[in-house]
Amino acid sequence: MPGESSMAPNRDVLEAVRRRAQSLSKKPRGHRRIVVLATPSANLGRWGTDCDRLLASFPESKITLFTSRERVWQVPAPSHGRIKVSVFQDGIAGWIRETLKAVFQARTVIVILWWGAGRKNRGWKGTVLDGMTSFLRKTVFAQSLGDLCLVLEEEIRKNDEA
């Protein structure tokens, strides 16, 4: 039976997420920290529910969300001690500072929530983001945390069946 992601209207975007996330699903206990960087165009959507799904996929990880002061109101208070929400300080400079900190922390997965995540040509911003993070850390670009969770759940289920 085909997976839910293969029937979704945004299946091309989910397939791009899958290519980056497949290696994460092979050793879900090997990741200590997941840093979620929410760009201004990110879809925070069902943050609480999606965090619970992500914690279930990575049972030994802690999640830190970095978002702007203007968007933090969209995020409900963390329901779990393994979730932390932080606000970027100093605009773009703070965003870059937190990204670089995450790049240099061991056993960290970086998730960048960005509306342009599924585009083949992401422009200069996507190229800079990808170059800044991917050379040292596992980095996944997704439009929403729900997209990443869907793909991870399918991949983990597939690995368990194998």
What number does CATH give the domain 4-72+81-157? 3.40.50
pLDDT above 90 covers a percentage of the chain that reads 1
pLDDT at 119: 58
pLDDT above 70 covers a percentage of the chain that reads 84
pLDDT at 134: 62
pLDDT at 59: 86
Q: Quick one: which of 111, 96, 120 has its CA closest to 152? A: 111
pLDDT at 10: 81
Residues 6+ apart with CB under 8 A from 83: 51, 55, 62, 63, 64, 65
- In this structure, of 22-26, 93-97, 120-124, 140-144, the range with the lowest mean pLDDT score is 120-124
How would residue 131 be classed by pLDDT, with cut points 50, 70 and 90? low
How would residue 128 be classed by pLDDT, with cut points 50, 70 and 90? low
Q: Quick one: which of 104, 160, 118, 159 has its CA closest to 20? A: 118
pLDDT at 60: 87
β-strand partners of 65? 36, 85
Q: Buried b / exposed e across 82-94, counting CB within 10 Å, b at 16+?
A: bbebeebeeeeeb
Q: What is the pLDDT of residues 1-58, one digit of tens each?
A: 678 888 888 888 888 888 888 877 777 777 888 889 887 777 787 888 888 888 888 8
Mean pLDDT of the chain: 79
pLDDT at 69: 81
Q: What is the pLDDT of residues 110-127, one digit of tens each?
A: 888 877 666 555 565 666
Q: In the predicted model, what is the mean pLDDT of residues 84-105?
A: 78
